[in-house]
Amino acid sequence: MNQKSILLTGGTGLIGGRLTQQLLDNGYTVSHLSRSLGTAPRVKTFLWDVHKGEIEEHCIDGVDMIIHLAGAGIADGRWTEERKKEMIDSRTRSIQLIYSLLKAKKHQVKSIISASAIGYYSDRGEELMAEDSPPFTDFMAKCCVEWEAAVDEGKQLGLRIAKFRTGVVLDKGGALAKMALPVKLFVGAPLGSGRQWIPWIHVQDVIGMYLFAIENNNFEGVYNMVAPNPVTNKQLTQAIAKQLHKPLWLPNIPAFLLKLLLGEMSTIVLGSTKVSAKKIEAAGYKFVYPEVSVALRAIYG
């Protein structure tokens, strides 16, 4: 059994919850940093308040590695200036608070593994994005650049840093549930032109990549967390409909309507981001679900 101790931020979210359970199953000791006390009997919860700069100092006692998943939901509300500030601060100030504690207190933390997002590349049309591609210039890219820069400050503490630019995670909940609901109600349709690329990944491969980073001490740097075979919005919508045995008969939902409803946030569904998975494959990770049809069959089957 593995005796390493891991501290997670964002440990109760879609990915954090699954990762916590898998780590426990693999013999790790797991604790969470959270705004409120947890209920899982095998997970100790330490409290923090990022806005107030407060953190329980004992949260790093005996911890070997920190997984940083915390951050305000990208699609949880309209992108007002206040909301955008919250989205950036919840990602950057949180890791900075952890680093302040690591500087102030003796510890044995050796590694930081952090989420990032494919929003780093944003809307790039048909261009294939690799990890060394430059970031875009819109808000999502700005958020990701600041997020990654804050995480990279840990290099000055001699920490191993690994970052994952996460794509659209396919699971029964989250983004897939929102995409599948109109299809289930017989009103599903591609969004905008439908030609925009969606860098998707099955949730099991998300967990697999985090475990890969945790278990390989030489694994560091930034990696795209996407499946090796991206699909367009139209292809994904059709694949969902096929798996659910539902027809698609409506015309595409116009881009102008989505922009009207969602404002700046419409870039999430209208932007085209074609992302390469070659670097993570070259590092030795083997995908469980490289094809979207197989991934959807596993989720709905």
Strand partners, 163: 114, 222
Beta-carbon count within 10 A of 76 CB: 10
CB 46 within 8 A of CB 58: yes
The pTM (predicted TM-score) of the whole model is 0.94
Residue 102: its pLDDT value, please?
Answer: 97
Q: Domain residues of the chain, as ranges? A: 5-300
Beta-carbon count within 10 A of 83 CB: 15
One-letter amino acid of 289: Y
CB 277 within 8 A of CB 129: no
pLDDT digits (tens, 9 = 90+) for 161-179: 999 999 999 998 888 888 8
Residue 23: its pLDDT value, please?
Answer: 97
Alpha helices in the chain (DSSP H): 14-25, 81-104, 139-152, 174-184, 203-215, 233-244, 255-262, 267-270, 278-282, 292-300
Closest CA to 283 of 200, 126, 164: 164
Written as tens digits, the pLDDT of the chain (301 aa) is: 567 999 999 998 889 999 999 999 999 999 999 998 877 889 999 999 999 999 999 999 999 999 999 998 887 878 899 989 999 999 999 999 999 999 999 999 999 999 999 999 999 999 999 999 999 999 999 999 999 999 999 999 999 999 999 999 999 888 888 888 888 888 888 888 999 999 999 999 999 999 999 999 999 999 999 999 999 999 999 999 999 999 998 887 877 776 777 676 667 776 889 999 999 999 999 999 999 999 999 999 8
Residue 250: its pLDDT value, please?
Answer: 85
Q: Which two tokens stand for residue 238?
A: 């059709």
Residue 271: its pLDDT value, please?
Answer: 82
Rounded Cα–Cα distance for residues 235 and 190 (Å):
8
User: What residues contact residue 59 under an 8 Å CB cut-off, 6+ apart?
Assistant: 7, 31, 33, 46, 48, 101
Instruction: State which CATH number among 3.30.110.70, 3.40.50.1390, 2.20.25.90, 3.40.50.720 fits the domain covering 5-300.
Output: 3.40.50.720
Closest CA to 234 of 177, 175, 190, 188: 190
| DSSP state, residue 134 | P
User: Residues 262, 11, 37, CA angle at the centre, nearest 5°?
Assistant: 105
User: Residues 114, 149, 69, CA angle at the centre, nearest 5°?
Assistant: 20
User: What residues contact residue 179 under an 8 Å CB cut-off, 6+ apart?
Assistant: 236, 237, 240
Rounded Cα–Cα distance for residues 229 and 200 (Å):
8
